[in-house]
Amino acid sequence: MKAKTISISNQKGGVGKTTTAVNLSAGLVLAGKRVLLIDMDPQANATINLLPQGYQTKFTIKDIFYGTELNKAICPSIMKGLDIVPSILGFAAIESELASKIGRELKLKKALNDQVKQQYDFIIIDTPPSLDMISINTLCAADEVIIPIHEFYALEGVSQLMKVISQVKEDLNPGLKISAILLTMYDERTNLAKEIKEKIQEIFGDALLNTTIPRNIKLAEAPSHNQTIFDYASDSTGAKAYMDLSNELIGRWG
Ligand SMILES: Nc1ncnc2c1ncn2[C@@H]1O[C@H](COP(=O)(O)OP(=O)(O)OP(=O)(O)O)[C@@H](O)[C@H]1O
Ligand SMILES: [Mg+2]
């Protein structure tokens, strides 16, 4: 079996991409899956959340773009069964350094060879809030995209993201699918939230997940404790929501 590769994408900042990448990965591990999280964001938020304190990385995602085998950059995380390819602040420099290199969009896809994919059930990729070369690399390497949508920003920027996804599909990665839309920081008690949900359902139909992620302060606190939500607050509404999300996606993926 080869891993399914999923990109968590939305160029809007602060919509819950990293929180979702980290806690969905952890939820999938709790459901018995083998998971690799790849941190493609130069902010390295997922890396800081998940790398064991004091862990010295030899290689990071940046090295992959200069020819290091991806296998060599895989590190253990704070959670057994969850591995991570860490990011690094200097990663953003590849945008200019590789600007004139042929095949630059396909570097991550090539790095994710069968040898890597056979070790995992899922590869989850956290992405930066941008639509530049790093994000294009992620879309080229992915089988599916999950788009977290923040209740407050709703569809801002989503049509631009959809345009880029269809360009990537047409030119570079024909198999790419939008697998799911996830509402984050969602308060179903408000009328505004209900309206947004209906609107998104009209546009995306079945891609909209049944599971929504509520606003839950524990989700915001867990990273600074170097924990996933399941270790930090296993009884929280956030933990329940991310476990529901993991199970719903496993159900969809069969
Ligand atoms: N469901 C939630 N409830 C409360 N706070 C949340 C929730 N999800 C995320 N947050 C907090 O909101 C902020 C933004 O979330 P996060 O970092 O996951 O977004 P992001 O899309 O990865 O941002 P960026 O685009 O900068 O990478 C963080 O401080 C995070 O802890
Ligand atoms: Mg992030």
For 16-45, write each residue's pLDDT tens digit: 999 999 999 999 999 999 999 999 999 999
Query: What is the per-residue pLDDT across 157-189, written as a single tens digit (0 to 9) for each?
Result: 898 999 999 999 999 999 999 889 999 999 888
Query: What is the per-residue pLDDT across 111-156, written as a single tens digit (0 to 9) for each?
Result: 999 999 999 999 999 999 999 999 999 999 999 999 999 876 778 7
Report the pLDDT value the prediction gives residue 168, as an integer from 0 to 100.
96
Q: 76 in ligand 1 pocket by Cβ < 6 Å?
A: no
C-alpha 57/C-alpha 72 separation (Å) is: 10
- 215: which DSSP letter? P
C-alpha 229/C-alpha 223 separation (Å) is: 8
Q: 157 in ligand 1 pocket by Cβ < 6 Å?
A: no
Give the residue, out of 19, 145, 187, with the most ligand 1 atoms within 8 A of its beta carbon, to mutate for a pocket test.
Answer: 19
For the cut 80, the answer to whether the pLDDT of residue 212 exceeds it is yes
Report the pLDDT value the prediction gives residue 99, as an integer from 0 to 100.
87
- What's the one-letter identity of residue 183? L
Q: What is the distance in A from the centroid of ligand 1 to the CA of 178?
A: 21
Query: Is the distance from CB of 122 to CB of 4 less than 8 angstroms?
Result: yes
Instruction: Supply the DSSP string of 90-115, one letter for each residue.
Output: GGGGHHHHTTT-TTGGGHHHHHS-HH
Burial 95-123 (b: 16+ CB within 10 A, else e): eeebeeeeebbebbbebbeeebbeebbbb
Q: Binning pLDDT at 50, 70 and 90, where does residue 240 land? A: very high
Q: 215 in ligand 1 pocket by Cβ < 6 Å?
A: yes
For the cut 90, the answer to whether the pLDDT of residue 1 exceeds it is no
Q: 14 in ligand 1 pocket by Cβ < 6 Å?
A: yes
Q: Does an H or E element contain 201, and which?
A: helix 191-204
- For all residues of the chain together, what is the average pLDDT? 95
Q: 220 in ligand 1 pocket by Cβ < 6 Å?
A: yes
